[in-house]
Amino acid sequence: MSKKQELDIQIAHDGTVTINVLGVKGKSCLDLTHDLEESLGAVMERETKSSFYEQEDTEAVRIRGEN
C-alpha cells in the first residue's frame, strides 16, 4: 500500500508561492513539484527538510515462478 503524499501550497498577498511536500522521503519530492515549479516561474529559494536526506522508501516484489 502506498503512503499518502501531499502538497501544501500557499499563495501570499504579494504572489509568492510556497510549496511544502508532505509524506515523501528523499529527492522524489523534487519530481512531485517539478511541473508546478516550471509553470509558476523561477524558483527563488529552496529549503530542504531533514526528510530530503532520508533514504526513499522502496518496494520490492518477488514472484516465485512455477517449476
| Cβ atoms < 10 Å from Cβ of 60 | 4
Does the residue 42 lie in any domain? yes
Q: Which domain holds residue 17?
A: 6-53
Does the residue 1 lie in any domain? no
Sign of CA dihedral 9, 49, 5, 37: positive
Does the residue 15 lie in any domain? yes
Query: What local confidence, expressed as pLDDT, does residue 3 receive?
Result: 76
pLDDT mean for each 10 residues of the chain (67 residues): 81 92 88 91 89 73 63
Does the residue 67 lie in any domain? no
Domain count, the chain: 1
Does the residue 37 lie in any domain? yes
What does the block give as the cell for 55? 533514504
Does the residue 47 lie in any domain? yes
Please list, in sequence order, all residues whose beta carbon lies within 8 angstroms of the beta carbon of residue 35, skipping any fewer than 6 positions away. none
Total-model pTM: 0.70
